[in-house]
Amino acid sequence: MAAKDGKKIIIVRKKKVSGGGHHGGSWKVAYADFVTAMMAFFMVMWILGMDENMKKAVEGYFSNPVGYKKGYASGASPISAGSSPSKVQTSQVRLIVRNYEEKRFRAIEEHLRARLDSAASLKGLAAQVEVVKTKDGLRIELVESGAGDTFFPQGSPDMRPTGVLALEIITQELTGLSNPLVIEGHTDAARFSADARYTDWELSADRANAARRVMEASGLNARRIAQVRGLADTELRDPEHPESPANRRITILLPFTNVPEVTADVGARGA
């Protein structure tokens, strides 16, 4: 192209390049990777810096509800009780733990009944071993019937072989759990002895301890036993017939895990 005066006009076209150098978008991807790596590094260092109780809490959250419960304690962790800068919510964890345990208890209830029904040597005994999931947990009861001497001779704390075998099967089903156990002994209201030094209180406690010994010998971890109670005739199964053999029983209770609410007010440490 030429101008009117004869001089040639030179047109220079400059191509604008976007996205290059530090003005482009590729650096954002690299930066995101860097931030992710730093966060992972921070999480690892944070866990390594936890106290032992809080490490158990983290581990228990993913694998063991009881471990999670025991993990709550004061310590150096920024989310442990007593030093937390904010409120720690455990309602969701409580729901997870409860649903998990309900499923486990339901499975044990069904499996235990099936094993008692199929055990040839315990034929007809399943009706005397009651397994019930209640609002408080799992309850297993060895209930006397008939003459009232299926599990223990009348007035004696010495367990019969039938009772030993029933407890062995029960223990095998419970070894896969971590819930604590409460073992209770119950009697009826009938007097079995004129000796005032050995009453229903002593008898029920001795029977509960006899059940404990059998379960421990069958593989139950002794640390899981929270209480052994002798309740005599204070909690009758059939209160309308206080002398009924059905009131003589051994009760094994597995309560639901109680995950505590752990809260800490903001600025509590500096108060």
Domains delineated in the chain:
24-88 (no CATH), 95-255 (3.30.1330.60)
Average the pLDDT over 113-117 and give the result.
84
Least confident of 127-131, 236-240, 250-254, 265-269: 265-269
Average the pLDDT over 46-70 and give the result.
57
Average the pLDDT over 17-39 and give the result.
66
Nearby residues of 123 by Cβ (< 8 Å), 6 or more positions away: none
Task: Check whether 14 has a pLDDT greater than 70.
Answer: no
Q: What is the overall mean pLDDT for the chain?
A: 78
Q: Angle formed by the axes of helices 161-174 and 200-217, to 10°? A: 60
Q: What is the per-residue pLDDT for 115?
A: 86
Q: Which two tokens stand for residue 259?
A: 């995950």
pTM of the full predicted structure?
Answer: 0.63
Task: Check whether 119 has a pLDDT greater than 70.
Answer: yes
Q: Tokens 């345990």 correspond to what residue?
A: 101
Task: Check if the beta carbon of residue 207 is closer than 8 Å to that of residue 152.
Answer: yes
Task: Check whether 1 has a pLDDT greater than 60.
Answer: no
SS (H, E, C) the chain: CECCCCCECCCCCCCCCCCCHHHCCHHHHHHHHHHHHHHHHHHHHHHHCCCHHHHHHHHHHHCCHHHHHHHCCCCCCCCCCCCCCCCCCCHHHHHHHHHHHHHHHHHHHHHHHHHHHHCHHHCCCHHHEEEEECCCEEEEEEECCCCCCCCCCCCCCCCCHHHHHHHHHHHHHHCCCCCCEEEEEECCCCCCCCCCCCCHHHHHHHHHHHHHHHHHHCCCCHHHEEEEEECCCCCCCCCCCCCCHHHCEEEEEEECCCCCCCCCCCCCCCC
Q: What is the per-residue pLDDT for 22?
A: 52
CA distance 83 to 156: 54
Task: Check if the beta carbon of residue 128 is closer than 8 Å to that of residue 237.
Answer: no
Least confident of 42-51, 153-162, 252-261: 42-51
Percent of the chain with pLDDT over 90: 38
Q: What is the per-residue pLDDT for 144?
A: 92
Task: Check if the beta carbon of residue 138 is closer than 8 Å to that of residue 174.
Answer: no
